[in-house]
Every structure is written in C-alpha cells, then in structure tokens.
Chains A and B, each alone.
Chain A
Amino acid sequence: DTEVTQTPKHLVMGMTNKKSLKCEQHMGHRAMYWYKQKAKKPPELMFVYSYEKLSINESVPSRFSPECPNSSLLNLHLHALQPEDSALYLCASSPRQGTDNEQFFGPGTRLTVL
C-alpha cells in the first residue's frame, strides 16, 4: 500500500460546527504532515508530527487542533472556523521528518466554511 488516504473528500460546515479531517497511511512512515492550500496557491505547511509527537506548528490558530493517535493515523479537529479557512487540506507522510525524505500526499479534503 503506497498511498495516503483522506476522508472526507468534501466537507461543508458552519462556523459553529465541530468536525474532523482524517488521514491514514500504511507505508510505515513515521512523519506526517498537514498542509493548507488555497485556490491557485502552493501548499502551506501547518503541522508536522514525527514519531507521533508534534514537531512543528506553523503558528496555526487554535481552532485547528491536530492529533496523531498512532503511527498510521493523523487527524485535524476543526472548531469555530472562519469562512477564510475554506481551502483544500492536504495530508502527507514521509519515512522520517526531514526534507530529504520524499513526502507522499493524499488527495486532500475540500473544506467549505459557511
């Protein structure tokens, strides 16, 4: 299995909702990443987990809460989001943290905040 899966593919939520994005990989990778991508823009790093511990938080607002319950799963919990948070949320994984490790990306979750 050489892919990263993400669910759901699409999500529409109100500003008072609580929702979660899920990411899964079974490649034995020990680094997992969340990126945010606005339309016609490059992916922007949000969080990095290395060996199930948060390694990098790119000053992301607390309404985004990541969680890595085990080495195969990565969640992003969403609460009280703003319309400007609407974007494609990409998950990626790599064998280890470090930019000389190829990052494998999932297809993303298209999030719309109303």
Chain B
Amino acid sequence: GESVGLHLPTLSVQEGDNSIINCAYSNSASDYFIWYKQESGKGPQFIIDIRSNMDKRQGQRVTVLLNKTVKHLSLQIAATQPGDSAVYFCAEGGTGTASKLTFGTGTRLQVTL
C-alpha cells in the first residue's frame, strides 16, 4: 500500500546549528503535506504545511521543501534550540473531503548543548 516514511529515526544536532529532517512519500496523488512536532506527553502540534503546487514554504525558523519528482519532503529548522527537541512527523493528505492524513514513521530530534 501507499506509505509515508522517514530516512532517519534519530537526529542529534548541536544547539545553534540547522536541522534537516527528511521524509519520503510514495503516493503520487498526494497534494498536501504537513509537518507535526510531538513533545513527550503531548499531542502533535502543527508546524507548517505545503501544497503540491509549491516547492518551498517558509515559516518562523522553519522551511519545508517539496520535491515531487523524487517524492521527497524535508523540514529545515534554523538555529536549532533545546525546545525543538521532539519527535517530528510528516503527514500526507490526498484530495477531496473524504481524504485523510497518513503519518510517516517519525524522527526524533535531539538537541545537544
């Protein structure tokens, strides 16, 4: 079946450095992608989203890049802070009101001091 997956289960980054979290998806019909952050003991928190008609979108300290040719999604976090330590999930959505989100396997980001 279709799946959304991540390349690295754990990423360790020094405080102040930039982080890049990658995600591969396999459903070519997907047209909406989201990154969520989940801290321990909390529900997923929306970070940023991107539609398939875009290849880049920027937020506050975060950038999402979408490469539809190779079905790849990445989340870049600038100047990573200890508060960024969490599990990051990419999620893929199809078209239409009956569509649903499919989450990737997740990457744990560890920020070292």
Contacts and interface: CB of A to CB of B under 8 A. Distances in A.
Query: What DSSP secondary structure best describes chain A's contact surface?
Result: loop
B45 A100 contact: no
B100 A99 contact: yes
B59 interface: no
A9 B99 CA distance: 29
B113 interface: no
A102 to B, nearest CB: 5
Contact of B104 (A42, A99, A103): A42
Interface in B44-77: 44-46, 49, 51
Interface of A: 4, 40-45, 48, 50, 55-56, 90, 92, 96-100, 102-108
B43 A99 contact: no
A103 B92 CA distance: 12
A107 B39 CA distance: 10
Contact of B32 (A56, A99, A106): A99
B101 to A, nearest CB: 6
B99 A98 contact: yes
Interface residues of B, number: 25
10 contacts: A45-B102, A99-B93, A100-B49, A100-B51, A102-B34, A105-B44, A107-B41, A107-B42, A107-B43, A108-B42
Nearest to A55: B98
B32 A108 contact: no
A98 B106 CA distance: 22
A98 B49 contact: no
Given A43-B103, A48-B100, A97-B98, A102 B41 contact: no
A44 B102 CA distance: 8
Contacts of B104: 42
